[in-house]
A and B are shown apart, each in its own frame.
Chain A
């Protein structure tokens, strides 16, 4: 069974630009979550989608948004990028009330 797939693996953007990251969950998983990982803050929850609806949201500004499609694939968008948005963005999928399985992430660098 294929794992969680995230694209692209690496991304370099400049301040003020926007970026869209993509995630394909494990087949059959309808819940998709996004996390930001930085050396200083560790892993922090961004949001969770289930059946195309946002079910939970972390403490991030409105510049961070996401969506989920009918096939459970998900995208997250960051607008007006700041230097502090440089991080590894991780997507995870799960069955209902089951542990999360993570992808290998998208490394975003903002210059």
Chain B
């Protein structure tokens, strides 16, 4: 079983929809949680970075971490066609440094 599970999709939504992306994990040592967005032929771009449990909002994006359930989410409000990309969750522990464990990514398409 993988340490981080993420539904690969694909997920297709109309413009303006609220998108919910999720990951579950099994390693209780994970403390830092990230969401990256990756466009085709590009590297992953950091969207959100959170420590431990709680919510964090940045513009149209909200990240939630529930460590008790080992579940993290990314919400995108008022989705735009430019949000069409692959979204990757990633996480690491206090002593793992730059060794991130990634989900396999969810491919999102926002239709105009």
Residues of A within 8 A of B (CB): 4, 31, 33, 35, 42-45, 48, 55-56, 58, 90, 92, 94, 99-105
> Chain B contacts of A4 at CB under 8 A?
43
> Chain A contacts of B32 at CB under 8 A?
99
Chain B's interface: helix, strand, loop or mixed, by majority? loop
B44 partner, pick from A44, A56, A90, beta carbons under 8 A: A90
B98 partner, pick from A48, A104, A105, beta carbons under 8 A: A48
> Chain A contacts of B36 at CB under 8 A?
102
B99 partner, pick from A42, A58, A90, A103, beta carbons under 8 A: A58
- Bound Cα distance from A56 to B97, whole angstroms: 8
A100-B46 in contact (CB<8A): yes
11 contacts between A and B (CB under 8 A): A4-B43, A31-B98, A33-B98, A48-B97, A55-B97, A58-B99, A100-B34, A100-B46, A102-B45, A102-B46, A104-B42
